[in-house]
Structure 1
Amino acid sequence: MNGRTILYTGAAGGLGLETTLLLMRRGATVVAVDNDPAKVAKLQDAAAGIDSGRLIVSTPDLSDLAAFRTELDRLLAETGGFDVVVNNAAIYPSKPFEEFTIEDHQLVQRVNVDAGIVAVQAALPGMRERGFGRIVNVSSITISGGWANLSPYVASKGALIGLTRAWAREFGAYGVTVNAIAPGAFPTDAEKIHPDPEGYNRMVLDAQAIKRRGTAADIAAAIAFFAADEAGFITGQTLHVNGGWVMA
C-alpha cells in the first residue's frame, strides 16, 4: 500500500487501532478520524514506532455533517485525495425500542451512516479521476438478528449493507470497489453495555464454531484485504468475520 492514503473513521477504537497500524506497516498514510482523546493518544504512541509522519489525526464531531465535510475538504487539500475510505465509526445506544426517540434514531443514523456518505462524496471525485478506489463499510453481526435493544444501531448497519451494494454497482465503472465486513462479537468497549460480561462471553463462545474470541487483528486483516490492489475483482460483498457464529 505504499503511496496510498486511507481515510478511516473510528480509527483509534478497539477495532480501529490495530487496523490503522497494519495499514501503516504496509506503507499507507492513514487519516485517522476519531474524537476520543485517550484513544487518539494511544494510537499516536503506537504509530510513533512505525512512522508517525504517515498518521494524520482528525477529531471532528461526525454528527455535524456540514463541519465534517469542511474538515474533509481541508484534508483532501492536505493529502491530495483518499485512495481508500473505511467507514467504521459508530455509536451504539442500548435500550428497548419504545424508549428511543426519533431524535435518538436520527443521531445514530447521522454518525453511523450519513457521515460515511459524506466521506464517500468527498473521496469519490478523486477516485474516479485516478481510476482507482476502495471503500470498506463496517457493518455488524447484529443485522442477522438475535440482539434486542439495539434497533437504531441494527438499522444503521443494515443501511451500510444496502449502500455497499448500491455503490458497488454504480462505482465499478470508475475502478472503485465497495465491500463490507460484518464483525461478530469482539471484546471491545462495545461489550460494556452487557450487564453480565462472563455470561455474555460464554454465550459467544457457545455460538461460534471457532472456540476463541475474535481479536482486532482479525478485523484488520479483513479490512486490509479489501483495501488492497489484489481485491480489485471483488465488489458488493459482505464478509462475515465472526468465528462461524453466523454463516452466510
Structure 2
Amino acid sequence: MTPLGNARTLAGKTVLYTGAAGGLGLATSLQLIEAGARVVAIDNDPAKCEELRKAVPQADAARLMQRDFDLSDTDALPAKLEALAAETGGFDVVINNAAMYPARAFEDYSIEEYRKIQRVNVESHLMCVRAALPGMKERGWGRIVNIASITFYGGWQHLAPYVQSKGALVGLTRAWAREFGKYGVTVNAISPGAFPTDAEKIHADPEGYNRYVLENQSVQRRGHAGDIAGTILFLTSENASFITGQTINVDGGWVMQ
C-alpha cells in the first residue's frame, strides 16, 4: 500500500486538470502538487488562476503550468491539447472537472446553449482523454477521474442539459474503464454533493438552500473542497489500482443507491 498524506505519491507524474482553479479545483491542485505531481491547470477565470498561483509554495512553483483554453471551442481544442502533450511529455492523470451549470426551465434553453454546455461539460473532456491516452498506453499506467454530479440521480429541476452532460460522463467512465484497463489505465467518476461554491449562486435563498442541503444529508456539515481533493488523491494513487469503472458519491450521505 502507498501512504497518502504528504508523501510524494505522484512524484514524476503530470496531471491535466480542467477547472483546476475553481471552487473544488484549487484545493485538489494544491494537494496534487504537494504529492509531487506537475499540474497542468486549464482554467479561464483570471482571478481564480491568480489565487492558485499565489497559493502554490514558491519551492513548488515550477510544477504548476496554467493555460487559458476555451473549452467550448472544440474545433481548436484538439490541436492545443496535442501541442501541450508534446510540450510536457504527455499526461499521466486526467481530471475532467470544468463545467457549465446554468439553471432554467427546459424550454428556455436555446439549442445552441444546450450544445455549448455539452461541448464544455463532455466533448472537451473527451478530447483531453484523447490527448492523454497515447502516452498512458506507452507507459502502461494512467488515471482518469471524471467529475460527475449527484444531480444525475434525479430530484433537481431546471438543470436538464447539465444533468445530461453528467450522465454522459458516468457512461464514458464505464466505457473507458472497460476499454482502457488492459493498458493499465483506471477510469472512475466522483459525484460531488452540494458544495458551497460559486455554483450555488443560482439559488435565490442561500439560507433556505443551506437548510435544504443539511436536511437531505446524513453528515450534518457542509462539504468542503478537501473532501473532493482527498478522494481524487486516493483514486490517482496506487491504493486505487484495482478500482475502475466506479462512481463514488462524495455527498455526506445524500444519495444512497
TM-score by length of 2: 0.95
Q: Deviations over 1:189-215 (max 9, x none)?
A: 000000000000000001100000000
Shift of 1:66: 2.6
Within 5 Å, which residues of 2 pair with 1:193-232? 193-232=202-241
Q: Deviations over 1:107-148 (max 9, x none)?
A: 100000000000000100110010000000000010011110
Instruction: Choose the corresponding residue for 2:175, options 166, 182, 186.
Output: 166
Whether the 8 Å contact between 1:180 and 1:239 is mirrored in structure 2 is yes
Q: Distance in 1 between matches of 2:188 and 2:74?
A: 23
Aligned-residue Cα RMSD (Å) equals 0.8
Structure 2 counterpart of 1:40:
49
Whether the 8 Å contact between 1:24 and 1:50 is mirrored in structure 2 is no
Within 5 Å, which residues of 2 pair with 1:17-166? 17-49=26-58, 51-166=60-175
Structure 1 counterpart of 2:25:
16
Shift of 1:56: 0.3
Structure 2 counterpart of 1:180:
189
Unaligned runs of 5+ in 1: none
Shift of 1:49: 4.3
Matched position secondary structure for 2:158: coil
Identity score, percent: 63
Whether the 8 Å contact between 1:25 and 1:50 is mirrored in structure 2 is no
Q: Distance in 2 between matches of 1:74 and 1:54?
A: 18
Whether the 8 Å contact between 1:108 and 1:153 is mirrored in structure 2 is yes
Shift of 1:35: 0.5
Q: Would the alpha carbon gap of residues 136 and 145 (structure 1) be closer, same or farther in structure 2, given more than 3 Å must change? A: same
Q: Distance in 2 between matches of 1:33 and 1:67?
A: 15
Matched position secondary structure for 1:182: strand
Q: Distance in 1 between matches of 2:35 and 2:135?
A: 22
Work out the number of aligned pairs and report it: 248
Q: Distance in 1 between matches of 2:166 and 2:145?
A: 13
Unaligned runs of 5+ in 2: 1-9
Whether the 8 Å contact between 1:181 and 1:239 is mirrored in structure 2 is yes
Structure 2 counterpart of 1:243:
252
Q: Which runs of 4+ in 1 moved over 2 A?
A: none
